């Protein structure tokens, strides 16, 4: 397996290609996704049945689109005690973190006669997309549903593609039950996103859709934004590790491989100023890969987008990281010194024992994170994604009088006389507008 060691100052073109690896991919599928969306919009359940047969090779009927309660009960019997316990333990930690995140309403008098504040209300109906392709992801059920539940969302629907036997993976069903899902849909792909956006005879129309998916799911979310709210457009997963000469190459290699096994387009990068660490990590990557059942996917990731980058200094590493804006950022060796200098990252892992897999599964933080440099503008999925912040103001006559001249001047500047009059009229005698 080829593991590249690139010098930042000499290989900027290659590194730029890695940074921009997902650009344009959505455009390649938009026309076909639009056709799917239009089909679902016009034909509802019939389209879902046809498209599930076409893409998943599963025959559904209208009565089987929604998972029945007995299917959920059966799912529990197919998991071991330790598997069920792991799901419940992860759910507990995610719920606790979401509770810490939940903001409080406030209402304050900022000046005599002027009170302002915010009331916080949950979104009413949420749709969560749960991938079901290469790997079943019960953890994604917990990550998408539990923050919504803590926020107070009343109706939570998940959509996930069926297996070849027409059933949903039992781990996903148990996770959905533990998390408190309202309805489970046996449909995947762009058609599932369209169904939740428009609604069908079986599937309620939701207000917002969250969760990761393949390029077709992402394209559908992009095209349907405005019809329905979305969280973000997720691309291939990525980790960037900043490490010094004292860091453990075995740990670094293991973390890079854990990310690379997600997808051939996944990106695992070590940034270091130590050539010794770079070479030692390279050897460890090659050695550990051969022991993994996912090695073929890993090899593709390293052939395309994963690498080790050599920089001249820690400052250069930090600058590069902030420009790259990684989904996952691991800081090893000097984490406390540089955390305050990190501006862009979806989720940060401090120290050699803060393994990314803990964040993926059960530490409590969310693993639905911005990719493709989108951590420059937002963080990961959270309680905030499921809340509406409604501003409130309450002015007395004396309070409005304090603001009246400012209102008048700004209204004149914008040539909006009715705005000016709406305030002035409250202080005039008689009916004159002027």
**Catalytic residue positions?**
327-328
Q: Which residues pair with 183 in a beta bridge?
A: 157
Instruction: Give the burial class of 316: count Cβ atoms within 10 A of its Cβ; 0-12 exposed, 13-18 middle, 19 or more buried.
Output: middle
Name the residue among 407, 393, 394, 404 with its Cα closest to residue 426: 404
Q: Are 120 and 387 in contact (CB under 8 A)?
A: yes
CA distance 306 to 268: 5
Distant-in-sequence, close-in-space partners of 341: CB < 8 Å, separation ≥ 6: 318
Q: Are 180 and 149 in contact (CB under 8 A)?
A: yes
Residue 328: count of CB within 10 angstroms of its CB: 26
Q: Own/partner pairs for 289-297, CB < 8 Å, 24+ apart?
A: 289/1, 289/257, 292/257, 292/261, 294/261, 295/1, 297/260, 297/261, 297/262, 297/263, 297/264
CA distance 146 to 364: 11
């Amino acid at each position: 397996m080829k593991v590249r060691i690139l010098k930042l100052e000499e290989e900027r073109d290659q590194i730029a290609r890695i940074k921009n690896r997902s650009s344009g991919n959505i455009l390649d599928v938009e026309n076909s996704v639009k056709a799917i969306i239009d089909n679902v919009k016009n034909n509802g359940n019939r389209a879902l049945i046809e498209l599930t047969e076409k893409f998943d090779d599963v025959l559904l009927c209208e009565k089987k689109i929604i998972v029945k309660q007995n299917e959920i009960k059966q799912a529990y019997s197919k998991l071991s005690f330790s598997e069920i316990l792991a799901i419940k333990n992860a759910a507990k930690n995610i719920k606790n973190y979401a509770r810490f995140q939940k903001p409080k309403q406030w209402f304050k008098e900022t000046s005599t006669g002027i009170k302002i504040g915010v009331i916080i209300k949950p979104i009413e109906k949420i749709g969560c997309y749960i991938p079901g392709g290469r790997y079943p992801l019960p953890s994604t059920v917990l990550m998408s549903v539990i923050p919504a539940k803590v926020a107070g969302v009343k109706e939570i629907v998940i959509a996930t593609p069926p297996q070849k036997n027409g059933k949903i993976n039992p781990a996903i069903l148990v996770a959905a039950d533990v998390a408190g899902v309202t309805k489970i849909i046996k449909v995947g792909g762009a058609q599932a996103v369209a169904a939740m956006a428009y609604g069908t005879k079986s599937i309620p129309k939701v207000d917002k859709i969250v969760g990761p998916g393949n390029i077709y799911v992402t394209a559908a979310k992009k095209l349907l934004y405005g019809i329905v709210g979305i969280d973000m457009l997720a691309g291939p997963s990525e980790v960037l590790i900043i490490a010094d000469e004292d860091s453990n190459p075995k740990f670094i290699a293991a973390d890079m491989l854990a990310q690379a096994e997600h997808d051939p387009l996944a990106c695992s990068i070590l940034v270091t100023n130590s050539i010794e660490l770079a070479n030692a990590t390279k050897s460890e990557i090659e050695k550990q890969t051969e022991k993994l059942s996912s090695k073929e996917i890993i090899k593709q990731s390293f052939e395309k987008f994963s690498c080790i980058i050599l920089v001249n200094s820690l400052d250069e590493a930090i600058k590069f990281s902030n420009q790259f804006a990684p989904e996952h950022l691991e800081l090893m060796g000097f984490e406390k010194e540089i955390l305050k200098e990190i501006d862009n990252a979806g989720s940060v892992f401090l120290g050699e024992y803060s393994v990314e897999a803990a964040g993926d599964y059960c530490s409590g933080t969310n693993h639905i994170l911005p990719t493709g440099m989108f951590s420059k503008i937002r963080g990961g999925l959270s309680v905030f994604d499921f809340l509406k912040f409604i501003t409130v103001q309450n002015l007395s006559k004396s309070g409005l009088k304090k603001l009246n001249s400012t209102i008048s001047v700004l209204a004149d500047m914008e040539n909006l006389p009715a705005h000016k009059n709406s305030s002035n009229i409250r202080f005039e005698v008689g009916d004159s507008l002027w």
